[in-house]
């Protein structure tokens, strides 16, 4: 009897978990498909790993995506975010700034937020620079659903702009993101 009850409980838990993963996957994909309006005053590029001084593939995709928006929307300022991890030679924000400068974005359009160590801090610290509380958030497609939820909790009217997720790290990043979304739902950040 106890064994049947145990198996039933495990089965219900597994079904619930699968349903939650599928629902969350759909939310992630729907947000990533959205296109932001033109000429939003600020663009926030969220930080990601830097290998020494070289952007990771995920950060590089965010940089490319942000650059395209900035070239098409000349009045938009960009807030590059991300601190410096123990194995990084420069802050993530500095790697993004260098890339944008190299590709023709003038320094006066770039605001640096280089103290944050996670997505919530990226957005919380970037909010200090927003004269109006409206911004396009650039990240990889897997990361935007949670990023927009966090921005909303901080009072930022945010629009998603999805960069690609590199195939080589896609499974790992999606699994990690599911855990981060669960954490956000439980503790709020």
Two structure tokens written together for 23: 């629902």
- The residues, ordered by sequence, that sit 6+ positions from 20 with a Cβ below 8 Å of its Cβ are none
* 88: β partners: 52
Q: Residue 2 — pLDDT band, cuts 50, 70, 90?
A: confident
| Residue range 11-37, pLDDT digits in tens | 888 888 888 888 999 999 999 999 999
Environment class of residue 55 by beta-carbon count within 10 Å: exposed (0-12), middle (13-18) or buried (19+)? buried
| Residue range 32-83, pLDDT digits in tens | 999 999 999 999 999 999 999 999 999 999 999 999 999 999 999 999 999 9
pLDDT at position 117 is 93
Alpha helices in the chain (DSSP H): 2-33, 57-72, 92-102, 119-127, 144-153, 170-187
Q: Is the pLDDT of residue 146 over 80?
A: yes
To the nearest whole number, what is the mean pLDDT of the chain? 93
Q: In this predicted model, which residue has the larger pLDDT, 141 or 130?
A: 141
Q: Is the pLDDT of residue 170 over 90?
A: no
Q: Is the pLDDT of residue 1 over 90?
A: no
In the chain, the domains with their CATH numbers are 21-187 (3.40.50.620)
pLDDT at position 5 is 79
Cα–Cα distance measured from residue 36 to residue 168, given in angstroms and rounded to the nearest whole number? 27
Q: In this predicted model, which residue has the larger pLDDT, 131 or 93?
A: 93
Q: Compute the average pLDDT of residues 146-151.
A: 95
């Amino acid at each position: 009897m106890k064994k049947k009850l145990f198996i039933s409980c495990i089965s219900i838990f597994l079904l619930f978990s699968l349903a939650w993963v599928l629902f969350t996957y759909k939310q992630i994909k729907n947000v990533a498909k959205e296109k932001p309006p033109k000429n939003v005053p600020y663009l926030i590029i969220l930080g990601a790993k830097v290998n020494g001084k070289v952007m990771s593939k995920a950060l590089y995709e965010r940089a490319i995506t942000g650059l395209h928006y900035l070239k098409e929307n000349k009045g938009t300022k960009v807030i590059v975010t991300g601190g410096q991890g123990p194995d990084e030679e420069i802050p993530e924000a500095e790697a993004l700034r260098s890339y944008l400068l190299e590709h023709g974005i003038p320094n006066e359009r770039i605001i640096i937020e280089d103290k944050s160590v996670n997505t919530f801090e990226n957005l919380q610290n970037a909010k200090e620079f927003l004269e109006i509380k409206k911004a396009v958030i650039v990240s990889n497609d897997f990361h935007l659903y949670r990023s927009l939820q966090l921005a909303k909790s901080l009072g930022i009217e945010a629009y998603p702009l999805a960069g690609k997720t590199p195939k080589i790290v896609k499974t790992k990043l999606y699994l990690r993101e599911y855990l981060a979304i669960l954490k956000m739902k439980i503790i709020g950040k």
